[in-house]
Structure 1
């Protein structure tokens, strides 16, 4: 239960922060955000204010922002559909009811024959089943539509649609989700440093050696400072660990400083399987040091975020030379990581939150249609061409990208299930 609750909280924070970035900059750009949803599925609660309907939905995983004019936003009106129109004293439509779950007082029953909510702002139809006379109503710029599930959202005239914003504002809005994820990681790492009372760093000095490990058999001792591996200097334990991990069953020459004397010791990392891939281990644990200074604590969020970003980009680069599903992880992998982090307390969970937030930000910026990065790529192409891309072609690219992501998600999820539950 602890893992489930932690997973929901971590996943919820990641999605909320990401979507809030899009929401905030869309509003600042004059783009109508029709709905901001926390959760997915059937609606539990809805509140409408300043053009946006805020909804809470039953499944506590994910969320979304409906921006006017995008491919995932559209009204479900159709010719011949019965609707209820609520008009003001001037006869202008203020609310259009499409739902058979809700009855509106004084609503005029109309069978729709035509409408335009983009520019002309009207709706036509036959009142009370009388097909002898077609009636036209003007629609208020900020009129509400009661959708079939009972959710009230504002109509989206052309002037408040996404495409009507300037190119720069659209680019900022597309980038804002990932930007917020990076900012969340910075804040999370800063909180980690506060909770630890300072910045904990692992040195290249050996703090512990496992019994009967390759390190013990090779003659390494606690207190040895590893200076080089195969004549390559190592300044951090991360660099040392990377060298070891990448060389299973291969001899490595460690240059160590012991009592101010340099020694060369040959160590052969044993081969282990980690997440479906071969990796080397020698059985050492780094000696840690803590910097309690305020400057170190303040800078930790930025330094650690940048460090993780560099590592992720290295992984992405390596994927071009040898792609493997084991390099990717979906919700199942996230759940597994959360389960492990929850065992070690808040610091581990917040560290995981930061790591996942950076991952989410970077993945969303990949130039794949349907992702934020794909949208940004189309924005750049539009800037070069100095004219918008054909909406139909953009829709086709988005559908192709979405199909690719869905197939990849299925493959990754199945691979994760095999890795974490049947290994």
Structure 2
């Protein structure tokens, strides 16, 4: 239960901060945000604010989204022949359209839909009360609501409040704002972590920090501030390189070339197996001056970003799914963090926030980075791609991302549970 709560809190905060970035800058650009959702799947709670946004909480705590007017995924499909119920105001303008069988509107007008336009001309035409002898046309209010089949009430999306109606610069900032918020959150959390832990980690070194009592490292003869020059003949230049070699070789005796003070010596270290990866019980070295601590959030964010870029780069030279992780790995890491305490949870959240920011900026269609590429292409061409081409590109991107997520999730299950 503790692990589940930690996972939900960590994942929920990361998603909330990311999506709030998109939400905030969309609002500033005059784009209608029809729904701000935390979680996926069926809704648990929904409330429409005065700003026209439906704030929803959904049952699966594994994501979230911001539905902006005019986006492909924002379509509310109405078809001729559908039965609707309309609520009108004193001026006989439609202020609410009900398409849901789950919701009953008191004093509403039943209508069989013939045609409609909720973007430009704002009207609904149909047969009222089943009378097919006469067509009736209603004007729709600019700020009217529509109740979707699942019961969620959102604003209609006239063209002037749609995403594509905003300036290109505003749309680019809206797309970038999610990852940007993740980087800001990472800096804040890493700063808190630095002060709690007593210093800033140094990853561009082959020197080790503290050695845990009774650990594999201590038993093998490793000491604080020792430099690991090579492991099994492979040169070690930085912390990430050392950790990667250790993690990839659980329960395998490794020959360490170690510089301890002015002495260079050979040690045999056998990493113990933990969640199918090797570990020896050493921590990263730290800088602990006040200046280093105050700048620690930025430093740690840069260090972790560098490590992530190196890992992503290594995928092109030696692809290995073990270098990637999905929700299962996040759950496993949340489990370990919850056992270690609040300091570890904060550090984990900061690290995952950097990961989320960078991954979302990858130039893959359907991710924020892919959308930014399309924005740049629009700026160069002087006009956007056609909706059909953009939809095809997005669908291809969604397919690739989903395929990768399935492979990564299955690999995580195999690693951690079998």
SS in 1 for 2:112: strand
State the match for 2:362 in structure 1.
366
Measured after TM superposition, the shift of residue 296 of structure 1 is 2.9
Q: Give the 3 Å change call, closer, same or farther, for CA 212–284 of structure 1 in structure 2.
A: closer
Q: Would you say the 8 A contact 2:216–2:271 is kept in 1?
A: no
The correspondence of residues 123-162 of structure 1 with structure 2, limited to 5 A, is 123-162=124-163
Question: How many aligned positions are there?
Answer: 410
Give the aligned partner of residue 337 of structure 1.
333
Question: Cα–Cα, structure 1 residues 31 and 3, in superposed 2: closer, same or farther, change >3 Å?
Answer: same
User: What does residue 96 of structure 1 align with?
Assistant: 97
- Give the aligned partner of residue 49 of structure 1: 50
398 and 275 in structure 1: CA distance in 2 versus 1, 3 angstrom threshold: farther
Is the Cα contact below 8 Å between 2:240 and 2:307 reproduced in 1? no
Q: CA deviation at 1:239?
A: 6.7
Structure 1's 285 and 388: CA in aligned 2 closer, same or farther, altered over 3 A? closer
Asked whether the equivalents of residues 108 and 128 of structure 1 are also in contact (C-alpha less than 8 Å), the reply is: yes
Distance 1:335 1:140 in 2: 46
RMSD: 2.9
| Correspondence 1:27-106 to 2 at 5 A | 27-40=27-40, 41-106=42-107
2:404 corresponds to which residue? 408
- Report the more deviating stretch, 391-400 or 223-232: 223-232
Moved more, 222-231 or 399-408: 222-231
2:318 is matched with which residue: 303, 322, 346?
322
Change in Cα spacing, 1:201 to 1:19, as seen in structure 2 (3 Å) is: closer
User: Matched residue of 1:265: which SS?
Assistant: strand
Distance 1:410 1:221, change over 3 A: closer
Alignment correspondent of 1:169 = 170
- What is the aligned partner in structure 2 of residue 256 from structure 1? 260
Deviation per CA, 1:135-167: give whole Å up to 9, x if none. Answer: 111111111111122221100011111111111
- Tell me the SS of whatever aligns to 1:22: helix
* Conservation of the 8 A alpha-carbon contact between 1:365 and 1:372: yes
Is 1:386 paired with 2:382?
yes
Alignment correspondent of 1:417: 413
- Evaluate the alpha carbon distance shift between residue 7 and residue 43 of structure 1 in structure 2; reply closer, same or farther with a 3 A threshold: same
Closer, same or farther in 2 for the Cα pair 1:93/1:317, shift >3 Å?
same
Q: Distance in 2 between matches of 1:116 and 1:14?
A: 38
- Aligned to 1:285, the other structure's residue is in SS state coil
1:183 matched residue in structure 2: 184
Contact 1:181 1:358 in 2 (8 A): yes
Q: Which has the larger strand fraction?
A: 1
TM-score (norm 2): 0.89
1:214–1:267 contact (8 Å) kept in structure 2: no
How far apart are the structure 2 equivalents of 1:372 and 1:153?
A: 24
Deviations for 1:299-341, whole angstroms, at most 9, x for unmatched residues? 1111001100000000000000011111111111110111111
Go from structure 1 to structure 2 and tell me whether the alpha carbon gap of 1:144 and 1:242 turns closer, same or farther (over 3 Å shift).
closer
Offset, 1:62: 2.1
* 2:353 is equivalent to residue 357 of structure 1: yes
**What corresponds to 1:24 in structure 2?**
24
Kindly state the Cα deviation for residue 36 of structure 1 after the two structures are TM-superposed.
0.8
1:228-243 alignment, distance < 5 Å: 241=243
CA deviation string 1:215-273 (max 9, x = no partner): 866xx564664386599896x7667656777898775543331xxxx222234554777
Could you say what secondary structure the match of 2:145 adopts? strand
Gap regions ≥5 residues in structure 2 = none
The 5 Å alignment of 1:281-292 reads 283=280, 285=282, 291=288
C-alpha distance in 2 between matches for 1:403 and 1:231: 38
Q: 1:408 to 1:91 in 2, by over 3 A?
A: same
Contact 2:200–2:293 (8 Å) recurs in 1: no
SS at 2:64's partner residue?
strand
